[in-house]
Structure 1
Amino acid sequence: MLGRMLGEVLREQEGQALFDQEERIRRLSIQRRRGPRAGRAQAAGLLAEALEGLPGEQIEPIIRAFTVYFRLVNLAEQHHRVRRARAHANTADAEPQRGSFEATFHALRRAGISAAQAREGVRRLEIILTLTAHPTEASRRTVLSKLHRLAGYLEQRDRCRQTPAEKERALAAVREEITALWQTDEIRHERPSVGDEVKNVAWYIEEILWNLLPEVTDQIARAFGRVYGEPLGPTPGPVRVHSWVGGDMDGNPRVTPDVLEDAILAYRVRGLRRLVRAAQQLGDALSQSSRHVTPPPALLASLDRDAERLPEVAATWNARTEGEPFRRKLRFVQARLEATLALGESRRAALHRRMETHGSEPPPSLAMPLGNATAYGSPEELSADLELVADTLALAGCARSGEHEVRALLARVRAFGFSIAELEARAPAEDARAAAGTLSSSTTVQMSSGAARLLGALDAIARAQRESGETACRTLILSMTQGPDDVLAALACARAMGLGAEGKADARGARIDIVPLFESYQALTGSADIVRALLDHPDYREHVRARGVQEVMIGYSDSSKEVGLLAATAALRRTQEALPAVASEAGITLRIFHGRGESVARGGGPAQEAILALPPGAVAGRYKATEQGEALDHKYARPELALRTLELVLGGALLHTLDAQPRAAPEDLKRYAAAFDEMADAGRLAYRALVWEDPQFEKFFSTATPLDAITRLNIGSRPSKRASGGMESLRAIPWVFAWTQNRAILPAWYGVGTGLASLGETRGGLALLREMAASWPFFRALLSGVEMVLAKSEISIFTRYAALAPEDARAAIAPRILEEHTRTRRWVKRILGVKKLLDGNPTLQRSIALRNPYVDPLSYLQVELLRSERTGNHPRDRELLLTLNGIAAGMRNTG
C-alpha cells in the first residue's frame, strides 16, 4: 500500500517520465539479482547503462525515490513486528513469544528456579540504558517525525473498525504525509548543535519511555503470576535512563562546562514539567469524598503539616478541596513541583544570560537561591509524598480507584528523579591527568584547554548536585584510560572542585563515580591489572565502598578497528571473565558498562543473544549499555517496539543472573576459549597485515569508500576525528560507515575467515568448530552476526567502488579483500551446515533479499558521483550526500 502511494506521489509531483524511469531501473536491478541466471549479466550491464545515462535533472529525484521507498519499507517492517507481537498475544493457548517476559519465566521454571528465587532475581535487576549522541542517525528529525505520524495512521488502521468514509480520510492522510515526506529535504543544512541533540534524545524519553516504564513493571508482574501462579509483590522498577547527550566531552569541543550545565537543567526542566502535569491530572482524578471514604490518619496528619508549611497554597486550595483529602494532598504536591520547576527555569534563564554575555570567557560566579520553602529538595521527598498517597488510598479501599495511577507516577519518579534522564559526563583520561598535575603543581603552570574544560565541568556538576541532588549527574567516564593514575587523577580533580564526599576538598572520597573506559586492545588486555591496582589503593577503595559500586566501561569499537573483530571479541571476553574475579577478591560490587554500537563491528546484534553470550558472572543483576544514534529509532520509535526491546534486555539479564541458560561443562568452556583465542590471534595477524601494515591500504580506503563525503554529512555535533591525523585518529563510526556504504562491510568480517580456517583445517578442527557453535553461546552469537553481515554485503558492488582507487592501491588491496570474503563465507557455511547464508533465519534472509536490489541503484549512482567529483567533471555534492542517506536507510545501518 505504501509503495503504491509513493508511486502515485511520484507521478503527481515529478511526472510520468520520471516514474517510468524509476520503474525501469527497479526492474533491471531485480533482474540482475533474481532473474534467470543467463540474463543477470545482461541486466547488470543495462542497469549500469541506464544509471550512467541518466539526465542530470533526473539524478536527484531517482535517488530520493529509492530513499523514500526505504523509509516506507522500514516503517512497514516495524509495523509488522508490532502486528505479529499483538497477534501472538491474542492467540489462545499459544506458546509465549520467544524472549518475552512469560517465555523468560517459563525458562527459569524449567531450569529449576523457584518462585522465591525468581522474585529475588527480579528485585535485584538494575538495567541502565545510556542514550548517546553518537552520530549514526543520518535522518533529520523532521523526516523521523513524519514517519512517526505515518506509523500512527497504520496503527489506527489496524486497531479500529472504520467506516468507508473514515477509511477514505485515513488513506488521504497517509497520502498527504507521503507527499510531505517527498517534498521535505533529506539533508541537514548545518551540523546539529548539542542542544539539538538534547531535544532529539528527549523526544524518545518523553514520548515513549516516560509512559512505558511503569507498564514494564506491570508486564513483569503479570508474566510472573501466569507462570508461577502467585503474585510477584512490590518490585522497584528495574530500568533507569541515563544520557551522554550534553555531557560527552570526548573529542567534541562544542560540549563546554556551560553546555553541560545547560543539558542538566534542560533534562530537569523537561522532567519537572511532566511531573507538574501528572500531579495536576492525579489531583483532578482523586475526587474521593470524606463522606464516602474514611481518610486514614496518616493522610490527615500530612495535610496539617502541609498547611502549616505552605499557608499560601492552603489558602488557595482549602475551599476548593473541602472534603476531598486526596485531591488536597495532590494540590500541595503540584504546588511544590511548580515551585521546583520555577527554580529550574530561573536557573536556566540566568545561565543563558551569562552565556550570551560572556561567551567563552571564564564566567563570573552566579549567585542563585538553592531552593525555597515550597520547592522539593530532592526526588526522595516527592517519592515519600506519593508513597503516602498510594498507601493511604489502599487503606481507604481505593485500590481500584486511583492507587495504581499514583504508583505508576511513583515508579516514574524512582526511575527518572526530577529529570527525564540522568546526565553522565565523559572526558579523555589525558585531561584528568593534566588537570590534576596543574592542581598539584607548586608553581604557576599553563593549564591545557582540556584540563580547564574538565575542571569547569566538575564545578558545574558540583553546583547541580547542590541544587538538584546527586542524580543530576554522578558519573564521570574516562575515555582511553591507560592506567590507575588516570582514575586517581580524576578523583583528585573531583574533590578539588567541590565534589568531596562530605562537600570538602580534602575528603577521601567523592560524590561521583569515576568510570575507567577501556577501549584499545592493550587497555582491555591490561584492564584487570588496572582495576586491581585501583582497588588496592586505600583511598580509592574507601571511595568505592562509600559509592557502593565500581563501574567499568568496555568499548567495542576502537579495539575492533585496531585488531579486527575476532581478536577484539576475544579480548572483551577475557576482560569480562577477569573483572568480576578482581572485584570479588576486593569485596567490591562491580557493574560492567557495555559501549556497544548498532553494527556488528561495534558490538551490535540481537540484545538478548548478546547478553546470554556474556561470560558467567558478568551480569550479576546489573546490566548497562549504550543506545546510540539510529538504534533509538529502530528500537524505541513506538511503545510496542520499546517494550519488546526492554523485555529482551531484561529477560536476558534475568536468565544470565540466575544462570538459567544451558551451559557447557567448565572443562569444555576452557577448551573452547583456548581454541577461540588461537583463532583470534590468527585473525588479528591477518587483519593487521592488511589494515595497518600494508602501506597501500590507507590510500585504497580513502578512495574506494565515500569517506570524504561522509565527513561532510551533518549527522552529529562532534567531528569525525579525535584529532588531526590519518586513519589512527579516525573514529570507529565513520570507519564502519564508509565500509557499509561501499557494501563490503569489511570491519565485521575481515580476518574471521583466516581465523576459522586456522582451526578448521587442523585434524578434528571442523568438528570442534561445530561443537562450539552448538554448545557455546559466545561463539554462536559471533557467528550469527558475521553470517548476517556477509548476507548483507555485496562484493560485486564493492568491486565498482574498488575501481575508483588508484591502480597500485587497488592491485595491492582489493584481491586480498575478495579472497578473505570468499574464505569467510565458505567457513561460516561449513560450520553452520547451510548451503546458503541465513538458511536458519528465513525471515531475515527474505528481508535482505528483498532490500538489496533496491539498494543497488543507489550504489551504482554513488560510484558515478564519486568518480565525477574526483575528476572534477560536474561534481554533484548534494546528490552524493543524498546517496549516503539512501544507502543507510536501505542497509538499516550507518556505523
Structure 2
Amino acid sequence: MSSFWSPASWSERLAELEARTGEAKQAPLRRDVRSLGALLGQVLREQSRDLPNHSIFDAVENLRRTAIARREADAKGPAHDPEAQRLLDEALDQVHQAAGDLQTGEHGRPSAAYRLARAFAFYFELINLAETNHRKRRRRASLLDESTPPQRGSLQGTFRRLKAVGVTRAEALKLLQRVCVTAVFTAHPTEVARRSVMFKRRRISDLLAALDVAPLPANEMEALESALLAEITALWQTDDVRSERPTVRDEIRMALDYYEASIFETIPVLYAEIAHALDAEYPAKRPTRLSELPIVATFGSWIGGDRDGNPFVTASTTEEAMAMARGLLREHYLGRLSLLFEQLASSTRQAPISAALHTRLEQYLAQLRSSGAHSFGDRFPHEAVRLHLACVTLRLGGTPPTTMHRNLSLTSRATLPEYRSADELLNDLTLLRDSLEENRGERLAELYVDPLLLTVRTFGLHLQTLDIRQHARVHAAAVEELSASTSSQQMATPLSKETAEVLSTFRAIAELKQSSPIAIRQYVISGASEAEDALRVLWLARMGNVNVEGGDADGRHDPGLQPVPLFESIEDLQQAPRICRELWSSELYKPLLKAWGGTQEVMLGYSDSNKDGGMIASTWEIWKAHRALHEVARECGVTLRLFHGRGGTVGRGGGPTHRSIYAQPFDSFTGELRLTEQGEVLNWKYSDVVLAERNLELMIAASLDAIARPDKKANPDCQAHLTGEILPAWEAAFDELSASSFSFYKQHIIDNPDIFTYFDQATPVAELEHARIGSRPAKRVDASATKQRSLADLRAIPWVFGWMQSRHVVPAYFGVGHAIESFIAKHEDGLALLQQMMRSFPLFLDMIRNVEMALAKADFGIARLYAGLVEDEALRERVFSNLEAEFDRTERMVLAVTGQTELLERNAVLSNSIRLRNPYVDPLSLLQVELLRRKRAGERSEELDRAITATINGISAGLRNTG
C-alpha cells in the first residue's frame, strides 16, 4: 500500500529539502498538511459511526467548502458582497443543523456540537504540528549550504557584521560575555492544552520528522504512517477539555516538562552553534571549546511564586515549586552521570589521571571508608575515573550504577556530604575534564564532560530562579496592619488572612534561601507607583527574617532579595524615571545597591499598558521609559537590567523576538535581558530542540546586535537602514502619534461607558470560567451586588482573549489608524516621513508589522455575528460601527505606510498560513456564536459549556493566539 508521503522520485524529494526559494520550498509543508488532513478524515469517519443521521466528516466537509466559497466571494470586492452574505447565511444554517441538540449519547458520549468543534480544532492541532515541523525542516536546510550568506538573526550573521566593521575576535568574545538572556516562564492562562495532549503532540511531531528521512523504504514509510494514524486516533479519543481547573502544581509540572522535552538537550547544541559561528567568521588556531564560552542563556519562572491576584499561590506552593525544580534537575544530573559512567571506563594502566584528580579521589575514598564503606574501590583500583564519578553521584544524593554499587561493596552507610553549591560540583567535574585533557583524553572531555559542565553552569543546583510577585497595594495594607499591631516584636492582635499570608511568604523565602540562596533573587512588585513600594517590600522581608543584602557564608553566595518595581500603566511608565531616581538616591537604599553590586532590575509591563492606552501609546511609553531609566541609572551610578513582561499576543506585547530586542533604545542596553515566556508561546518555542535552539539563538544574536550596533558603525550618519539610532523628526512624530492615539483610545474605549457592556456580551470572555484554562481567576477583584463591574476588574489577558476569540482583535490596532491618518493630514510630508521610519526605525517597523499581522487575523464579517449577541441594538450599532471604522482606517493607513496593496504582501509564509486556516477558523466562530446565543437565551448544561470550551480551544489553535 502506497503511503501519502511516498515520493514520485527520491531525487525530487531531496531537492525539496534543499530548496531555498519557490514552490519546492513549500512543497513538503503542503504534503504534510494534505496527508494529515486525509488521515484526520479517516479518523473522523471511523469515530463517528455511532451518529444516526450523519457523520462528523460530512458536516466538516460541507462547512469547510462553504467557508472557502464565502472567503473567495469576499475577496472579490464589494460587488460580490451579496454572494458572500448568502454563503455566510448558508454556513450558519449548516452549523445550526450540524450542532443539533446538546444531549450526550450512550455512555456519556459527547454531543454533536462538541464533536463538530473538536473536529475543526483537531485540524489546527495537525496544521500547527506540520508548520512546526516545516520550521525545523527549513532550519536544517539553511545550514546545508555554507556558501549561503547567514540570515539576520543568526549568530554567524551577527559575527559577520561585527567583523565587517573591524571588530576583532577578542572584542567579539568580550561583547558576547556581556550578553545574558533569561527566559522566565509564566503560567498566565493562555495555554489551553492539557498535559496529556501535549505529550501526544510530541509523538506526532516525532513521526512527522521521521517521514522526512530520505530515502526511506516503502515498508518503513507505511509503518510510520500507520503509527501516525494510531496517534491521531489516540489524540481524538483523549479529552482536550479539562474536567477541572488546573492547579498551580499542574502548571509547575507543565512548565518543567519543557526542560525534559528540549531545554536540557538544547544547551549543548546552542553552545556548539555559538562556537561554530565564531570559528566560521573568526578562524582560530584550534576550534573553540564549549568550556571556554560564557554563559549567555539562563532560565527563570513565576509559576508557584506569582501570587498577584492568585489566591492559590501560597508559601507552601512556593516551597513545592522549588522542590520540584530541584528534583527534576537532580534526576537529570544523575542520568548524565550514569551515561558518563558507562562511557568513561578509562583505566590508569592505559592512561593516568592528574595529580589534582588523584588527590580529590583519595579524599573522597577516605571519607567513605570512615563512614563504613571500607572496601570501596578495592576491586577496581585502576578505574579512577569511574570511582570519581561514583563519588560525584553520591554527593548529589544518588546511587551509582548497579554494577558499581554491587562490586564496590557500597552500603547504606556509605555517604559523602551533599554539594552546598554548584561551584563545588563544577570543581569536581572540571578536575575530571582537565585530567582527561592532560592524559590524551581531550576528545572524551569534549564529547562527554563539556556538555555536562555547560549544563551545570547554566542551571546550577536550582534549575531556574523563582521570582516572587505580589501587588503593591497588598504590601501597603500589610505594612499598615503590622505597624499598628506590632509591639516589641510581638503581635498584639490576630492578623488578617492577607497579611498573615504576606508574612508567611517572606518567612518561607528566608527558609528556602537557607538551602538554595540563589534560586530566589527578585521580588516583583505589581502596580508600583512610588519609591515607597520598594521600601515596603524590604521592611516586610526583614520582618520575615530575609537577609535582603545577601553575602557569602558557609561556602555559598547569597545574592539577597531585590525588590523589582513593575511599571504597568501609561501613567506609571511616565513616572518610572522619577520614582527610580528617588529610590536610587535614597540614603536607605544606597547601601543595598552597593551590596547588590550596583545592579538594579526594573520590569516594564506590556499587557496592562496596552489595555490602558492602546498600541502606539504603550509601545512608545515603554520605549521612552526604557531610555529614561537608563539615563537615570547612569546618573545614579546604577547598572540597570530591564525585565520585559511581554505576552504571547500582539495585544500583550508579543511579536517577533529578534525584532523587538533590536528595537530597544540606542545606548540603553547593557546586554542582560529578562523577558517572560507565556502560555502557548512555550509550546511554539520550546517543544523541540531545533525550535528551542533557534529561539535562544535569535535572542542572543539580537542582544549582541543591540549592544554592538554594527550597522551604526558601518553608517555613522545613522541614515541607513535600521541602525537603531533615532532622528529628532522620528521622535517628534512618535510623540504626536502616541498622544493622538492615546486620546482617541481613551475617548472611545476606556472612557466609553458602552464598551464594557459590549465587550461582556459580544465576546466569550465570561466562558473563561468554564474553559478551566489556568489556575488564576480572570478578574483582579470580584464584582458584587453593590459594585458595578468595569474594565478595571479585568486583567489584560481576558481583555485580549475576548477580542481575539470574537475576531475583533481591538487591542492590537485601535487608535493606530486614527493617529496615522491625523498625522498625514496635518503634515505635508507626513506620509513620506512615516515611510522613512518604516524603512529605518526598528521600533516603528516592529509596531506596524505587528499591527499588520493582527489586522490579517481579524474578521469584521464574523465579528458582526458576535455583535448580534449584544441585547441593546442601539448600543451594539454605536460600538460596532466605531470599531469597524477604526479597523478599516487602520488597514488603509498600514497599507499606505508599508507601500503594499494588501496585508502581509511581503510576508508570504504568514499570509499563506492565515489563508489556509481561515476556512477552518470561520466555522468554529459560527459554532461559538450559535452556542453562546443558546446559552444567553437561558439554556444551561455541562455539555453546552463543554462544547463552547471546545470552540475556544479550536479558535485559539487556529489563530495561534489565546490571550
TM range (shorter): over 0.9
Secondary structure of 2:588's aligned partner = helix
SS in 1 for 2:753: coil
Amino acid at match of 2:904: L
Asked if structure 1 preserves the Cα contact closer than 8 Å seen for 2:549 and 2:595, the reply is: no
Q: 1:451 aligns with which of 488, 493, 499?
A: 499
Match for residue 807 of structure 2?
743
In structure 2, the residue corresponding to 1:650 is in which secondary structure? helix
Q: Give the drift of 1:322.
A: 1.4
Give the conservation status (yes or no) of the 8 Å contact 1:208–1:637.
yes
Structure 1 partner of 2:914: 848
Give the TM-score normalised by the residue count of structure 1: 0.93
User: Counterparts of 1:755 and 1:313 in 2: how far apart (Å)?
Assistant: 78
Alignment correspondent of 2:302: 244
1:60 aligns with 2:124: no
For 1:766 and 1:502, the matched residues in 2 are separated by 53
Distance 1:117 1:591 in 2: 22
- Give, in angstroms, the shift of residue 439 of structure 1: 4.3
User: In the aligned structure 2, how far is the partner of 1:761 from the partner of 1:449?
Assistant: 57
Tell me by how many angstroms 1:187 deviates.
Answer: 0.6
The answer for the alignment partner of 1:356 in structure 2 is none
How far residue 574 of structure 1 moved from its aligned partner, in angstroms, is: 0.8
Check if 1:200 corresponds to 2:254.
Answer: yes
Shift of 1:323: 0.7
Distance 1:503 1:62 in 2: 58
Which of 137, 143, 150 does residue 191 from structure 2 map onto? 137
Partner deviation per Cα, 1:606-656 (whole Å, 9 max, x = no partner): 010010111113332111100001000011111111111111111100100
Q: Structure 1 residue 180: deviation in Å?
A: 1.1
- In the other structure, the counterpart of 1:420 is 463
Task: State whether structure 2 residue 530 is matched by structure 1 residue 483.
Answer: yes
Equivalent position of 2:962 in the other structure: 894
Q: What amino acid is aligned across from residue 140 of structure 1 in structure 2?
A: R
Does residue 332 in structure 1 map to residue 391 in structure 2?
Answer: yes
Matched to 2:570, the amino acid is Y
1:101-250 maps to which residues of 2 (within 5 A)?
Answer: 101-159=155-213, 161-230=215-284, 231-232=287-288, 234-250=292-308
Task: Say if 1:129 and 1:242, in contact at 8 Å, map to a contact too.
Answer: yes
Tell me the CA shift for residue 660 of structure 1.
Answer: 2.1
Query: Which residue of 1 is the match for residue 554 of structure 2?
Result: none
- 1:780 matched residue in structure 2: 845
Q: Structure 1 residues 138 and 502 mapped into 2: Cα distance closer, same or farther (>3 Å)?
A: closer
Offset of residue 160 of structure 1: 6.1
Q: Which residue of 2 aligns with 1:625?
A: 675
* Aligned residues with identical type, % of pairs: 38
Deviation at 1:316, TM superposition (A): 5.7
User: Could you tell me how far apart the structure 1 residues matched to 2:393 and 2:179 are?
Assistant: 31
Counterpart CA distance in 2 for 1:503 and 1:527 is 26
755-764 vs 432-441, greater mean Cα deviation? 432-441
Q: 1:260 to 1:163 in 2, by over 3 A?
A: same
| Residues 378-777 of structure 1 aligned to structure 2 (within 5 Å) | 378-441=421-484, 442-443=486-487, 444=492, 447-468=495-516, 470-500=517-547, 511-548=560-597, 549-662=599-712, 664=718, 669-725=727-783, 726=789, 727-762=791-826, 763-777=828-842
Q: Which residue does the alignment assign to 1:868?
A: 934
**Hey, what's the Cα distance between the residues in 2 that align with 1:107 and 1:510?**
37
Distance in 2, matches of 1:430 and 1:634, equals: 35
The answer to whether the 8 A contact 1:551-1:592 is kept is yes
| Cα shift at 1:514 | 1.4
Deviations 1:548-584 (A, max 9, x none): 2200011001111111111111110110011111111
TM-superposition CA deviations, 1:484-509 (whole Å, max 9, x none):
111011112222322225779xxxx9
Equivalent residues of 1:101, 1:647 under 8 A apart: yes
Q: Which residue of 2 aligns with 1:824?
A: 890
Name the amino acid aligned to 1:266.
M
Q: Residue 276 of structure 1 corresponds to which residue in structure 2?
A: 334
Q: Secondary structure at the match of 2:589?
A: helix
Tell me the amino acid that sits aligned with residue 298 of structure 1.
Answer: A
Using the alignment, how far apart are the partners of 1:398 and 1:494 within structure 2?
50
Q: Aligned to 2:93, which of 42, 49, 73?
A: 49
Contact 1:267 1:420 in 2 (8 A): yes
CA distance in 1 between counterparts of 2:41 and 2:341 reads 51
Q: Match for residue 344 of structure 1?
A: none
1:30 paired residue number: 68
1:292 matches 2:350: yes
Given residue 425 of structure 1, which amino acid in structure 2 is its aligned partner? I
Length-normalised TM-score, structure 2: 0.87
Q: Distance in 2 between matches of 1:238 and 1:309?
A: 37
Aligned residues of 1:710 and 1:884 also touching (Cα < 8 A): no
Whether the 8 Å CA contact 2:569–2:608 is kept in 1: the answer is: yes
CA distance in 1: counterparts of 2:372 and 2:667, whole angstroms:
52
Give the AA of the match of 1:13: Q
* Partner Cα separation in structure 2 for residue 211 and residue 489 of structure 1: 41
Which deviates more, 230-239 or 677-686? 230-239
Equivalent pair of 2:924/2:954 in contact (CA under 8 Å): yes
1:834 corresponds, among 877, 896, 900, to 900
CA distance in 2: counterparts of 1:834 and 1:191, whole angstroms? 45
Q: Distance in 2 between matches of 1:594 and 1:798?
A: 32
Between stretches 649-658 and 684-693, larger displacement belongs to: 684-693
Q: Is the 8 A contact 2:368 2:376 kept in 1?
A: no
| C-alpha distance in 2 between matches for 1:650 and 1:225 | 17
Moved more, 543-552 or 2-11: 543-552
Distance (whole Å) between structure 2 residues aligned to residue 711 and residue 316 of structure 1:
62
For residues 365-416 of structure 1, what are the alpha-carbon distances to aligned partners after superposition, in whole Å with 9 as ceiling and x for unaligned?
xxxxxxx952111111111111111122111121112344212111111111
> Which deviations, in whole Å up to 9, do the C-alpha atoms of 1:452-480 show, x marking residues without a partner?
22221121121111123x22222211111
Contact in 1 for aligned 2:393/2:399 (Cα 8 Å)? no
1:32/1:232 CA distance change after superposition, 3 Å: same
Which amino acid in 2 is paired with 1:492?
W
Q: How many pairs does the alignment contain?
A: 860
Per the alignment, do residues 831 and 384 of structure 1 end up closer, same or farther by CA in structure 2, a change over 3 Å counting? same
The one-letter code of the counterpart of 2:173 is R
Distance 1:404 1:486 in 2: 50
1:498 alignment partner, SS class: coil
User: 2:69 aligned with 1:4, yes or no?
Assistant: no
* 8 Å CA contact 1:428, 1:478 repeated in 2: yes
RMSD (Å) for aligned C-alpha atoms:
2.0
Letter in 1 for 2:177: R
Cα 1:661–1:594, aligned 2, differ >3 Å: closer, same or farther? farther
Between 1:229-238 and 1:166-175, the stretch displaced more is: 229-238
Q: CA deviation at 1:221?
A: 0.9
1:318 aligns with 2:318: no
Which residues of structure 1 form unaligned runs of 5+? 342-371
Deviation at 1:97, TM superposition (A): 3.6
Report which stretch shifted further, 660-669 or 844-853. 660-669
From the superposition, tell whether residues 166 and 564 of structure 1 become closer, same or farther in structure 2 (CA, over 3 Å): same
How big is the shift at 1:74?
A: 0.4
Q: CA deviation at 1:131?
A: 0.4
Work out whether residues 865 and 880 of structure 1, in 8 Å CA contact, stay in contact via their aligned partners in 2. Answer: yes
Taking the aligned partners of 1:119 and 1:321, their CA distance within structure 2 comes to 43
Distance 2:88 2:800 in 1: 27
Structure 2 CA distance for partners of 1:52 and 1:102, relative to 1, 3 Å: same
CA distance in 2, matches of 1:667, 1:418: 41
Query: Is 571-580 or 27-36 further displaced after alignment?
Result: 27-36
Matched-pair contact (CA < 8 Å) for 1:515–1:552: yes
Query: Following the alignment from structure 2 to structure 1, what is the Cα–Cα distance between the partners of residues 711 and 199?
Result: 40
